[in-house]
Amino acid sequence: MLNIEISSWLLFCLLPLFLLFLISFIFTFRSSKESSSEQLPRSYPVIGSYLSVLANKDRLIQWTSDIVRSSPNLTFTLRRPLGYCQVYTANPATVQHILKSHFSVYEKGDIFRATLSDFLGDGIFNADGDKWKFQRQMSSHEFNTKSLRKYVETVVDTELSQRLIPILAAAAADKTVLDFQDILQRFAFDNICKIAFGYDPQYLLPSLPVAEFAVAFENATRISSDRFSSPFPLIWKIKRALNIGAEKKLSSAVRHVREFAQEIVKEKKQELKENSELESGDLLSRFLSSGHSDETFVTDIVISFILAGRDTTSAALTWFFWLVYSHPEVEKGILREIREKSESPLYDEVKDMTYTHASLCETMRLYPPVPSDTKEAAKDDVLPDGTVVRKGTRVTYHPYAMGRVEAEWGSDWGSFRPERWLERDAQSPGKWKFVAKDSYHYPVFQAGPRICLGKEFAFLQMQRVVAGVLRQFRVVPATQEGGAEPVFISYLTTKMKGGFPVRILERVIN
Ligand code: HEM
Ligand SMILES: *[C@@H]1O[C@H](CO)[C@@H](O)[C@H](O)[C@H]1NC(C)=O
Ligand SMILES: *[C@@H]1O[C@H](CO)[C@@H](O)[C@H](O)[C@H]1NC(C)=O
């Protein structure tokens, strides 16, 4: 009797108390958003820290970055619903551990693969084990040929001189405002489709057309990546089974992308059959003529390449042009370099653009195109700092946070300063020498066996764009005369929220 009374009394009192606690927690959390040093988020039974995640859903990268930077050993564990854990790290020793020395333990994993498999199939981006290894070997072989480099140069140059520059010249003459982020994405999309497929989607045209393939690809990427923010995968799986809501749109977008890609693969196969002498430079032709004829597989590979190359370089360039506008002394340095090199032939010009290269690295330190990247432990493990990792735990390395660690970059980590990547060349006075960071301290292109395959091409493309654009034009933000810092957001890759409206001015050569 007494017992029952006590327990109902307890329940009566404790339930409101618990609710009060929850509410006050949410409020303290709100106000603590302003403070610079983040505390480890509160965790509750069953839901873990889901409330904090929800409260920060539009700034997960910045929020987790603040926490990881103020955590001991630059590592913390986030409690996910239903007892799952996710470890975040900005510690180079741990990055080396997961990406290199214990590579076989830290895979893409089941969650990642299930989430993206409708879209990416077994493509390199979404594969582990032997399936990955095979594609990696084949791709890196095809990637490292001189003829592919030549082909990439031609593609980038054509897109630059026949599409980008004329559009900018027209905008300068008409004084129109352009969304430069959109323009750069279109540029990158045309480029990567030509390089991967030998197909020109004609996405960067003066009319800024809606290209169906590009839109379907964009939709498929966005909706697939939204699946990651669902609290339980079961939710999107049910929607998919019922073919409703976002999942219905996704399946239509994916069908579009795949049908389109398959059509291109078929045509290319036919072309190669009819003309075995054909010297097309694109990756698809290379894969097909090296004896891989399984259409689904080749399609998967090519879709992964488009995803990898599509929004990464455009994200880096968008932030680059904004940073360079707000740092006139850097712009001067780049211009000086462009003018010095403008006489030399293409490849050497790019190779020697040390200051521009440093400026791009510095941009991606602050705004990495892939701001965080997640692996899944295939078995129990212990990280170098002692953090215990159970099988199935996701471990996320965090380039965005790593570019902001004071111990790594000094107290001026917040300043955009390309010089931190340079030193005077002892051999030739007056010249700069580039000082690279190792990839565990700067994993912007990842590190270890799965390091980005397109890194060199990315720099080649970005440097060509920088030289081509800045030589002739000034890119001036159109909001509030330069205005406030744009808002950094991220799906799978980084974006500037709301785009990057700019005016283009012809540069007066002096
Ligand atoms: C600034 C530009 C770029 C950045 C910052 C970047 C960054 C990355 C990162 C972080 C990964 C690892 C992703 C993961 O495994 O979860 C990756 C993988 C990859 N990237 Fe890039 N990337 C860039 C441009 C490109 C371009 C232009 C291409 C293609 C031409 C490309 C091709 C690839 C491929 C094929 C992989 C998969 C490698 C593998 O799994 O073995 N990337 N990249
Ligand atoms: C892409 O998404 C937009 C907005 O949801 C939709 O209007 C459009 O029909 C979609 N297009 C394709 C090809 O998926
Ligand atoms: C982190 O570093 C401290 C020393 O700075 C150490 O005592 C601790 O065990 C480390 N590991 C974890 C998981 O906190």
Q: Ligand 1 test: best mutation among 225, 452, 456, most atoms within 8 Å of CB? A: 452
CA 465 to chain centre: 19
What's the pLDDT score for residue 369?
Answer: 97
Question: Closest Cα to residue 54, out of 188, 181, 231?
Answer: 231
> Regarding predicted confidence, which is higher, 17 or 64?
64
CA distance 185 to 311: 6
Q: How far does residue 155's CA lie from ligand 2's centre (Å)?
A: 29
Checking 245-249 for CB contacts under 8 A at 24+ apart, the result is 247/223, 249/219, 249/223
The SS3 assignment for 272 reads helix
Give a three-class secondary structure readout of 321-385.
Answer: HHHHHCCHHHHHHHHHHHHHHCCCCHHHHHHCCHHHHHHHHHHHHHCCCCCCEEEEECCCEECCC
Q: Which residues contact 281 (CB under 8 A, 6 or more apart)?
A: 147, 148, 150, 151, 154, 198
| Range with lowest mean pLDDT among 134-138, 237-241, 462-466 | 134-138
> Which amino acid does the sequence have at 341?
K
Q: Is 256 in the pocket of ligand 2 (CB under 6 A)?
A: yes
Rounded-to-10 torsion of CA 475, 490, 204, 253: -170
Helix, strand or coil for residue 158?
A: helix
Are the C-beta atoms of 128 and 474 separated by less than 8 Å?
Answer: no
> Which of 11-15, 272-276, 341-345, 398-402 bottoms out in mean pLDDT, i.e. has the lowest?
11-15
Tokens of 70: 């103020």
Euclidean distance between CA atoms 18 and 464, whole angstroms: 59
- Residue 155's nearest CA partner among 468, 461, 467 is 461
CB atoms within 10 A of CB 464: 22
For ligand 2, say whether the CB of 221 is within 6 Å of any of its atoms.
Answer: no
Confidence of residue 279 (pLDDT cuts 50, 70, 90): low
Closest residue (by CA) to atom 1 of ligand 3? 73
User: Would strands 106-107 and 373-377 be described as parallel, antiparallel, or unpaired?
Assistant: antiparallel
Q: Are 418 and 108 in contact (CB under 8 A)?
A: no
Alpha-carbon span 493 to 368, nearest angstrom = 8
Do strands 388-389 and 394-397 pair parallel, antiparallel, or not at all (unpaired)? Answer: unpaired
- Cα(394)–Cα(327) distance, integer angstroms: 38
Q: Among 473, 472, 465, which residue's Cα sits nearest to residue 505?
A: 473
User: Ligand 1: residues whose CB is within 6 Å?
Assistant: 124-125, 136, 305, 308-309, 312-313, 316, 369-370, 373, 444-446, 450, 452-454, 457-458
Token output for 427: 């051999």
Q: What pLDDT, in 10s, does the model give residues 33-56? A: 434 456 788 888 888 888 888 888
Mean pLDDT across the chain: 87
Residue type, 179: D
CA of 270 to the centre of ligand 2 (A): 31
Q: What is d(CA 120, CA 410) in angstroms, rounded to the nearest whole number?
A: 40
Ligand 3 centre to CA of 386 (Å) is 7
Burial tier of 406 (Cβ tally within 10 Å: 0-12, 13-18, 19+): exposed
Q: In the structure, which protein residues have their CB atom closer than 6 angstroms to any atom of ligand 3?
A: 72-73, 385-387
Q: Whose atoms come closest to the Cα of 91: which ligand? A: 3
Instruction: Give the closest residue (by CA) to ligand 2 atom 2.
Output: 219
CA 132 to chain centre: 20
- Which pLDDT belongs to residue 439? 97
The alpha carbon of 118 and the centre of ligand 2 are apart by a number of angstroms equal to: 17
Q: How far is the CA of 507 from the centre of ligand 1 (A)?
A: 34
Which pLDDT belongs to residue 8?
46
Lowest-confidence range among 91-100, 127-136, 144-153, 196-205?
144-153
pLDDT surpassing 80 at residue 342:
no
Contacts of 20 (CB under 8 A, 6+ apart): none
d(CA 299, CA 44): 44
- Alpha carbon distance 492, 446 (integer Å): 14
For the chain, helix, strand, coil in percent to 5 are 60, 10, 30
Binding site, annotated residues for heme:
452
Q: CA geometry: angle at 307 spanning 302 and 313, to 5°?
A: 120
Q: How far apart are CA 445 and CA 437, in angstroms?
A: 12
Residues 6+ apart with CB under 8 A from 119: 220, 221, 224, 250, 254, 257, 303
pLDDT of 321 over the 50 cut: yes
- Write out pLDDT tens, residues 98-127: 999 999 999 999 888 999 999 999 999 999
Q: Whose CA is nearest to atom 11 of ligand 1?
A: 452
Q: What is the largest CA-CA distance in the chain?
A: 96
Chain segment 200-216, per-residue pLDDT in tens: 999 999 999 888 888 99
**215 C-alpha vs ligand 2 centroid, how far in Å?**
7
Show the tokens assigned to 402.
């790593």
